[in-house]
Structure 1
Amino acid sequence: MAFDMSVFGRSRWVQTHPNGVYTHGSLQPVLSILDVRGFELRDLFLIGINDDCGTIVLPTESRAENAAAALEPAYATTVKPFGPSGETWGVDYTRRASDGTVLSAFITDLTLKDGRQVIKDGRWVS
């Protein structure tokens, strides 16, 4: 029996779209990338605050692998079982810079108390 993705649409913070697509956050750019790259937009839950990083929850491993392939190389992706029962699969994604590095989506600049800057413009400084 297939996993019913509508369980994710029960929160007032989740937006419902056609074909069993649910989103939490401002994620239309990610949906557009998936659509343009030929990934069928159905039966998925897209979680994130913005389009720089998040997770896509899908009912099968093969759909998760296909979603990850559609996001590459613009995003670094990881496919893994999602949830305690492992009934669903998740694709964690983080936007890559044009040079291929993965930027920090939340911390853009970080300087330690001793004055060393360890993150600048979302990149780790060595």
Structure 2
Amino acid sequence: MAYDMSQFATNRFIKMHPNTVLTHGSTEPVLSILDVRGFALHDLFLIGFNDNCGTLVLPTESRAENAATALEPAYETRVYLFGSRDGEDVWATDYTRRALDGTTLSAFITNLTLKDGCQVIQDGRWVR
């Protein structure tokens, strides 16, 4: 039996949607991508600071793999065992947005210039 995802709804910052879809943060664009790509929106917990990166927590490995497939190639994904709760395994799919050239961008620091004027990150990419 799969883990009951509604047990993640533990605080006021987690938004509940129909079909046991739980979200935390700015995640609506990712839900739209999953929906358009044919991934069934039920029994999932989506955690994201913005639409560039986050984690989908799912009750089974097959759903986690299907979520990764739905997000590729626009996002780099990684599926792994998130942990066990109440004797049931919980799986996760991490995602990070890719640029058009296939590189993974920094989701938080887009530009960084040191005090000496040397720019080390430009447009989310490390400058060499």
Name the CA distance, whole Å, in 2 between partners of 1:83 and 1:110. 35
Q: Trace 1:22-61 onto structure 2 (pairs within 5 A).
A: 22-61=22-61
**Corresponding position of 2:72:** 72
Amino acid in structure 1 at the alignment position of 2:73: P
Name the CA distance, whole Å, in 2 between partners of 1:114 and 1:96. 30
For the structure 1 residues 11 and 112, does the alpha-carbon distance in structure 2 shift closer, same or farther, using more than 3 Å as the test? same
Amino acid in structure 1 at the alignment position of 2:55: T
1:116 Cα deviation (Å)? Answer: 2.5
Greater mean alpha carbon deviation, residues 104-113 or residues 71-80: 104-113
- 2:110 alignment partner, one of 95, 102, 108: 108
Unaligned runs of 5+ in 2: none
Identity %, equivalent residues = 71
The TM-score normalised by the length of structure 2 is: 0.92
**Corresponding position of 2:125:** 123
Name the CA distance, whole Å, in 1 between partners of 2:19 and 2:84. 25
Greater mean alpha carbon deviation, residues 68-77 or residues 114-123: 114-123
1:114 Cα deviation (Å)? Answer: 4.2
For the structure 1 residues 9 and 73, does the alpha-carbon distance in structure 2 shift closer, same or farther, using more than 3 Å as the test? same
Amino acid in structure 2 at the alignment position of 1:88: V
The secondary structure found in structure 2 opposite 1:67 is helix
Unaligned runs of 5+ in 1: none
What is the CA deviation profile of residues 17-60 of structure 1, one whole-angstrom value per residue up to 9, with x for unaligned ones? 11110000121110010000000001000001111100000011
Greater mean alpha carbon deviation, residues 65-74 or residues 83-92: 83-92
The TM-score normalised by the length of structure 1 is: 0.93
Runs of 4+ residues over 6 Å off in structure 1: none
For the structure 1 residues 69 and 46, does the alpha-carbon distance in structure 2 shift closer, same or farther, using more than 3 Å as the test? same
Aligned residues: 126
1:115 Cα deviation (Å)? Answer: 3.4
Name the CA distance, whole Å, in 2 between partners of 1:90 and 1:2. 14
Name the CA distance, whole Å, in 2 between partners of 1:56 and 1:103. 19
Name the CA distance, whole Å, in 1 between partners of 2:55 and 2:26. 13
